[in-house]
Amino acid sequence: MAEVNIALIGYKFMGKAHSNAFRQVRRFFPGKLVPRLKVICGRDRAGLKAAAQQFGWEEIETDWEKVVRRKDIDIVDVSTPGHLHHSMVLAAARAKKHIICEKPLGNTLKEAREMLAAVKRAGVLHMLMFNYRRIPAIAYARKLMRSGKLGKIYHWHGAYLQDWIMDPEFPLVWRLDKKFAGTGALGDIGAHAIDFAQYLNGNITEVIGHSTTFIKRRPVATRQGRLKAKGGPEKGKVTVDDDTNFLARFRNGSVGVFESSRFCGGRRNYNTFQVYGSKGSLAFNLERLNELEIYNSEEPAGEQGFKTVSVTEAVHPYVGNWWPPGHIIGYEHTFVHAVKDFLDCLDKGRMPRPNFEDGIQNQAVLDAVERSAASRRWTEVTV
């Protein structure tokens, strides 16, 4: 067994999910490289201290540039808002650290290209945290599609719908500000929908999209609450999309319809896809992530129809390390699986997937959708 020292930059939602993954991984997936939760990094000392206590980080640090230069750090995990990914990844690559980065890779395609060039120059491992690829049902879907069970693919429908900002009083947080997030629903949740599609159905070659911001001004939020102006909270401009939808063509000749919205009431984290082929179809819903719906057109007449498979048997990846069939897993397990694969790749000297090459492919689609929404024309995806 050997320890690898982790530096995690970011301690809120993704910091919490990644901390849990580093803490749990070797309890359920024994392996040679054991992550040591060395230092957690962020801006707010009080918040960092609480996170360090909650997840067992040895140290806290508010200067991320100092952290990435430390000789005792092996892996840098960038789990910050998107505007910081570029500078942090370039600095960590310069310091020859292996890197895990939250999605999307950058806030622009230009940033993403520079990030890929930096890690290639440094010769370090790099993985993008498209954690949903590590759901056993997604591995099963990929196996069915690659085996030809669905036949020739005609349609891909992907929708990632949430509803957490439908209240007009919800404040202007960083995800609603282009300076920090790059884009809104498109880059945050649309990136996941695109990754599902390209992981399972191959690359997207052409898109045409449109974006909408339903609520254009929101109360300005400070880290402690709202700036009070006379007559109520000051309001600021929302500079990203609340909803982006697009049509797509895939390299394999199939066609795609995509939705990414934060204004679909009742859809808390509804990341879904349906894929339709000449011999069968699949349907998946993240809110029921242990299940995969399968339709096989070659079943005898009178017996056809979608059936729901419980993907909890040990024959599927990961799931046997947790519980017996039917005991289901959840959102946080996908991060544990991703960290397990990263550590095993590091041990074997192999490049993990999805890495920054996949990240560029994803960012190129995001970029093409943005350009097509502006031009109102079909736009080629160029990496």
Can you give the binding site for ligand SOE, defined by CB under 6 A? 13, 162, 188-189, 269
Q: 263 or 295: whose CB is closer to ligand SOE? A: 263
Cis peptide before 354 (omega within 30 of 0): yes
Q: 20 or 269: whose CB is closer to ligand SOE? A: 269
Residue 71 tokens read as 């000789």
Q: 13 or 323: whose CB is closer to ligand SOE? A: 13
Q: Smallest distance, Å, CB 22 to ligand SOE?
A: 17
Q: Which residue, among 118, 134, 182, 102, has the nearest Cα to 369 in the 3D structure?
A: 182
Q: Smallest distance, Å, CB 162 to ligand SOE?
A: 6
Q: 49 or 353: whose CB is closer to ligand SOE? A: 353
Q: How many residues does the chain have?
A: 383
Q: Smallest distance, Å, CB 269 to ligand SOE?
A: 6
- The pair phi, psi for residue 249, each rounded to 5°, is -120, 140
CA torsion, ordered 359, 360, 365, 367, to nearest 10 deg: 120
Sheet-wide strand order for 59-61: 59-61, 33-41, 2-9, 75-78, 98-101, 126-128
Q: Quick check: 286 and 138 in contact, CB under 8 A? A: no
Residue 158 tokens read as 């992907």
Q: Smallest distance, Å, CB 276 to ligand SOE?
A: 25
Residue 330 makes CB contacts below 8 A (sequence gap 6+) with 289
- Tell me which H or E stretch contains 28: helix 13-28
Q: 250 or 356: whose CB is closer to ligand SOE? A: 356
β-bridge partners, 221: 226
Greatest CA span in the chain, whole angstroms? Answer: 71
Q: 162 or 274: whose CB is closer to ligand SOE? A: 162
Q: Smallest distance, Å, CB 176 to ligand SOE?
A: 11
Q: Smallest distance, Å, CB 334 to ligand SOE?
A: 9
Q: 331 or 378: whose CB is closer to ligand SOE? A: 331
Q: 18 or 98: whose CB is closer to ligand SOE? A: 18
Instruction: For residue 252, give the amino acid letter.
Output: N
Q: 206 or 243: whose CB is closer to ligand SOE? A: 243
Q: Smallest distance, Å, CB 188 to ligand SOE?
A: 5
Instruction: For residue 271, give the amino acid letter.
Output: N
Q: Smallest distance, Å, CB 189 to ligand SOE?
A: 5
Q: Smallest distance, Å, CB 277 to ligand SOE?
A: 27
Q: Is 157 helix (H, G, I), strand (E, B) or coil?
A: strand
Long-range contacts for 370-373 (Cβ within 8 Å, ≥24 apart)? 370/183, 370/186, 370/209, 370/211, 372/207, 372/208, 372/209, 372/246, 373/209, 373/210, 373/211, 373/244, 373/246
Q: If you write DSSP's letter for every residue of 169-230 in order, what string do you get?
A: TS-B-GGG-HHHHSSSHIIIIIHHHHHHHHHHH--EEEEEEEEE-S--EEEBB-SSSB-EET
Nearest-CB residue for ligand SOE: 188
Q: 108 or 260: whose CB is closer to ligand SOE? A: 260
Q: Smallest distance, Å, CB 17 to ligand SOE?
A: 8
Cα–Cα distances in angstroms (integers) from residue 121 to residues 74, 102, 346, in the given order: 17, 20, 17
